[in-house]
Amino acid sequence: MPRVITRKDHILRFEDFDLQPEILRALTDLGYTEPTPIQEGTMDALLRDKDMVGQAQTGSGKTAAFMLPILDRIDPDSKDLQALILCPTRELALQVADASRSFAKYLDNVNIVPVYGGAPIVEQITALNRGGQIVVGTPGRVLDLLRRGKMILSDCRMVVLDEADEMLSMGFIDDVRDILKRTPWGKQTALFSATMPDPIKKLAEEELHTPEFVKVASKEITVDTVEQRVAFAEGRDKLELLERFIQEMKPPTMIIFARTKIGTQKLADDLKRRGHKVRALHGDMGQGARDSVMIAFRGKRIPILVATDVASRGLDVSHVTHVVNYDLPDEPEVYVHRIGRTGRVGREGFAISFVANKEKPKLDAVERLLKRKIQRWGIDEPVQPLTPEQIAIAEEIEAAEESGEVDVLVVENENSQQGSSEPRVEGDAPKKRRRRGGRGRGKGNGGEGSGSGDAPVAVTAD
């Protein structure tokens, strides 16, 4: 039977995992007060020495989820490589290494070495020779170092495959298998992936030993912290719509996602011509150019980034306030991943998707995944007054709450933009979230609640 961890349960605190005091101290410094659901599920499995598969996006806190158990079990007296983390991109490898160093800052003699292509291998070999117990690397460079005999995996006890679906789509899966073959039998393996395409399921089946599954429902990110809207526009009209969106919302920091590298560059050029401070980020750019864009965006020197999905992977920018899907992605899971760039742990965000007629099936797929309709962004739409029926229900709720008869009721109003203004009352189930009728653009105004009120945020199963 799956074990369901909901946010309200939060059975475990970081202290309950019996982590070393030095690690707990670092977490306090970082302001991590309680584990996120993926951390709770993952740490529980890894510290019981289980293999595990985690389905979670960047932004869910997965780095600490796998890294804290690793750090807790590294032997600082041995300089041997004890843990290997494989990541699809150099950006993600550096980000994971940086985060890990911040978790390890009070641990003596624990070294974390990032290795990746596009940088001199000699320096990385020197770092490895000094003794790196934890290596975070991209598959190509790791394999290169292994083939040269500069990296030895005979004492590697823990392996993490981070963003496995991305490693697959970038063509690294054979390298990953090759690397795994060189690791000792009996090691512990954790695999993280935002989506679970068949080749990843197969990899997990073949390489992991009776893994536990930890899954964070996409609702956690999308429902709790990101206000979502759609707007309908065809072709070039999208540019005008975007201009209107920028003028209206004045987003302080925004990522605009486009599907193709060419489309990304063109959109960035168009916006630049219109006087916006904007840069593009896509795979046709050289590593140096990509790095400089990332640094400028992270440093808040450019407010608008136009990016492809792949190029923006591993871009951990916690200050993004707005996400625009200029095109909808083919996979609905990617939508969730994109909008997870905003509304990072504990913050609120706003995401809007521009949908052309031919993209409507993709919007349907997203809404099916989210199990709800996304409201239209209605700049010109008047705020609808409450219907007499809605007012009656609102009064009913208030009266019931005041009399202490029920915890909270749910009022569904998600279909209002389809012309149905009829709210649905779901009875007096405890712990239900209440939502009022009415609509508009304000935060918390419709659209955020799951409506089901029972959003499980993590599920683990043997």
Options 62-70, 243-251, 371-379, 394-402: segment touching ligand AMP (CB under 6 A): 62-70
Residue 36 or 417: the one with the smaller Cβ distance to ligand AMP is: 36
**Interface of this chain with ligand AMP, residues 283 to 322, rule: CB under 6 A:** 316, 318
Among 35, 41, 139, 349, binds ligand AMP (CB under 6 A): 35
Between CA 39 and CA 67 the distance in angstroms is 10
Beta bridge partners of 204: none
Residue 41 or 61: the one with the smaller Cβ distance to ligand AMP is: 61
CB of 96 to ligand AMP, least distance (A): 8
Task: Provide the token pair at 81.
Answer: 């490589």
Asked whether position 59 contacts ligand AMP by CB under 6 A, the answer is yes
DSSP character at residue 214? E
Options 31-39, 141-149, 249-257, 287-295: segment touching ligand AMP (CB under 6 A): 31-39
Between CA 384 and CA 417 the distance in angstroms is 10
Residue 58 or 124: the one with the smaller Cβ distance to ligand AMP is: 58
Task: Provide the token pair at 324.
Answer: 């625009």
Beta bridge partners of 232: 355
Asked whether position 257 contacts ligand AMP by CB under 6 A, the answer is no
Q: In the block, which residue shows the tokens 């006890």?
A: 157
Asked whether position 344 contacts ligand AMP by CB under 6 A, the answer is yes
Task: Provide the token pair at 48.
Answer: 């019981």
Among 55, 58, 188, 421, binds ligand AMP (CB under 6 A): 58
**Interface of this chain with ligand AMP, residues 151 to 190, rule: CB under 6 A:** none
Beta bridge partners of 112: 134
Q: What is the torsional sign of CA 456, 41, 114, 299?
A: positive
Residue 351 or 363: the one with the smaller Cβ distance to ligand AMP is: 351
Residue 53 or 153: the one with the smaller Cβ distance to ligand AMP is: 53
Between CA 353 and CA 359 the distance in angstroms is 11
Neighbours of 368 (CB within 10 A): 10
Options 34-42, 165-173, 211-219, 374-382: segment touching ligand AMP (CB under 6 A): 34-42
Asked whether position 338 contacts ligand AMP by CB under 6 A, the answer is no
Between CA 340 and CA 325 the distance in angstroms is 12
Residues near 245 by beta carbon (within 8 Å), at least 6 away in sequence:
231, 251, 324, 352, 377
CB of 26 to ligand AMP, least distance (A): 12
CB of 432 to ligand AMP, least distance (A): 26
Options 52-60, 377-385, 386-394, 430-438: segment touching ligand AMP (CB under 6 A): 52-60
What Cα–Cα distance (Å) separates residue 198 from each residue in 164, 202, 203, 429? 12, 6, 9, 38
CB of 220 to ligand AMP, least distance (A): 12
Task: Provide the token pair at 398.
Answer: 């208030």
Residue 14 or 245: the one with the smaller Cβ distance to ligand AMP is: 14
Please work out the total of residues on this chain that contact ligand AMP, with binding judged by CB under 6 A.
15
Asked whether position 453 contacts ligand AMP by CB under 6 A, the answer is no
Residue 103 or 116: the one with the smaller Cβ distance to ligand AMP is: 103
Of 383, 359, 382, 355, nearest to 231 by C-alpha is 355
Asked whether position 337 contacts ligand AMP by CB under 6 A, the answer is no
Asked whether position 345 contacts ligand AMP by CB under 6 A, the answer is yes
For strand 158-161 and strand 83-86, is the pairing parallel, antiparallel, or unpaired? parallel
What values do phi and psi take at 242, rounded to 5?
-60, -45
Residue 61 or 349: the one with the smaller Cβ distance to ligand AMP is: 61
Options 56-64, 115-123, 362-370, 397-405: segment touching ligand AMP (CB under 6 A): 56-64
What values do phi and psi take at 216, rounded to 5?
-100, 120
Task: Provide the token pair at 103.
Answer: 């978790």
Q: Which spans of this chain sit near ligand AMP (rule: CB under 6 A)?
A: 32, 35-36, 39, 58-64, 316, 318, 344-345
